[in-house]
Amino acid sequence: MSETLHIDWTRCDGRGLCTELLPTLLDRDDWGYPLAKRATNGDRSNVAVRPAHSEAAREAVYLCPKMALSLANQVAGFGQ
C-alpha cells in the first residue's frame, strides 16, 4: 500500500523544510507553502509518497516546525 503525506493547511506556515526534504514531490508556491507537483484527483493536500521517498517523508513529518504533516496509508479527503 502506498503512503500519502497529508498537509494540514490550518497549521502549515510555509517554512519550507518539507520542500527541501522532498524536492521530487514538492515545490514551493509564491508564498512559500508546499505545492504538490502531482495532484491526485485534484487533491493536493494528500500527496502520494513512493517507497523511495518514505524515509524523507518521515523526516519531514518529524521536523516540520508546525507539526502540519502526517503520513497515512490512505487518503481521507473531503468525504465529510
Partner 1 sequence: MTPVTAEMPKVVDRQGPSGTHRLFAAGNDAGLAEHVQTFGALPLHGVDARLIDVVEASGLTGRGGAAFASWRKIAATVDARSGAPLERKPVVIANGAEGEPLSFKDKALLAHAPHLVIDGLLTAARAVSGGQLFIYATDAGLPAVERALAQRHDSRSIRLVAAPETFISGEASAVVNGIANGPALPTDHRRRLSESGFKGRPTLVLNVETLAHMALIARYGSAWFRTEGSDRDPGTRLVSVSGPAGDRLLEVAGDAGLGDVLSSADIDTSSIQAVLVGGYHGRWVRPMGYRLSPTGPASHTVRPGAGVVHALPDSVCGLETTAQIVGYLANESAKQCGPCMYGLPAMARVLNSLAYGGRDPQLVRELGRLSRMVTGRGACHHPDGAAQLVGSALEAFSAEVAAHLAGTCTKRMGRRS
Partner 2 sequence: MDNALWAFGRVSGIISLVLFTGTVLVGVLARSGRPLLVVPRFSVTLIHRNIALLATAFLVLHVGSLMLDSYAKLNVTDVVVPFLGPFRPFWQGLGTVAFDLVLAVVVTSLLRHRIGPRTFRAVHWFTYAMWPIALAHAIGNGTNGTSRWFLLLAAGSAAVVVGALAWRVSANFLETAKTRQGGLL
Rounded Cα distance, 48 and 39, in Å: 9
| Per-residue contact string for residues 37-56; x = within reach of partner 2 by CB under 8 A | --------------------
The residue from 27, 37, 66, 77 that contacts partner 2 (CB under 8 A) is 66
Residues 6+ apart with CB under 8 A from 40: 4, 46, 47, 48, 75
1 binds partner 1 (CB under 8 A): no
| Per-residue contact string for residues 59-78; x = within reach of partner 1 by CB under 8 A | -----------x-x---xxx
